[in-house]
Amino acid sequence: MQEEAGRGQDRATAPESPAPSSSLLQELGRLAAALRRLFGAQLHLLAAELGLARSAASWLLVAALVATVAGVALGLTLLGLFGVLLATWFHSWIWALLVLALLQALLLAGAIVLFRRCMHWMSLPATRHEWGAMMRETLHRAEREVDSGNAGERKP
């Protein structure tokens, strides 16, 4: 009888066979939850980075606009200072303004000549051939990237 009581006590303290499998399932459940949290956090970070990128692009455009306005303002200020220096040198505002107008006309003519020269270079047969080849290569590269991107989306 004492043997039976001892066996009953051993059975009560001995681990049951379903316990390890349920423990394994619990561990796998915790692992899956941890992975979901990890990848959820990664997706949250990706969304935040994309939001920052969109914001950065907007701020980049704003910064470019501010730099353009500041550059024009600096140019006008320097032009005004140069006009004042010319006026004191010529002792006449009319002559100073005429010289400034002439300098601006020369600068505009130089920009037009440079633009026309660049357009002429673009119209040369060798340049047209290189430009066309570069555009075709860019188009084919973009098509390959789109195709590889679509193929990657179809696989899963």
Domain boundaries, the chain: 1-65
Q: Where would I find the beta strands (DSSP E) of 4-129?
A: none
3-state secondary structure of 17: coil
Q: Are 96 and 86 in contact (CB under 8 A)?
A: yes
Question: Which pLDDT belongs to residue 64?
Answer: 93
pLDDT over threshold 80, residue 63? yes
pLDDT category at 156 given cuts 50, 70, 90 is: very low
What's the pTM value of the predicted model, to 2 decimals?
A: 0.45
Q: Label residue 153 by pLDDT band (50, 70, 90).
A: low
Confidence at residue 79, expressed as pLDDT on a 0 to 100 scale? 92
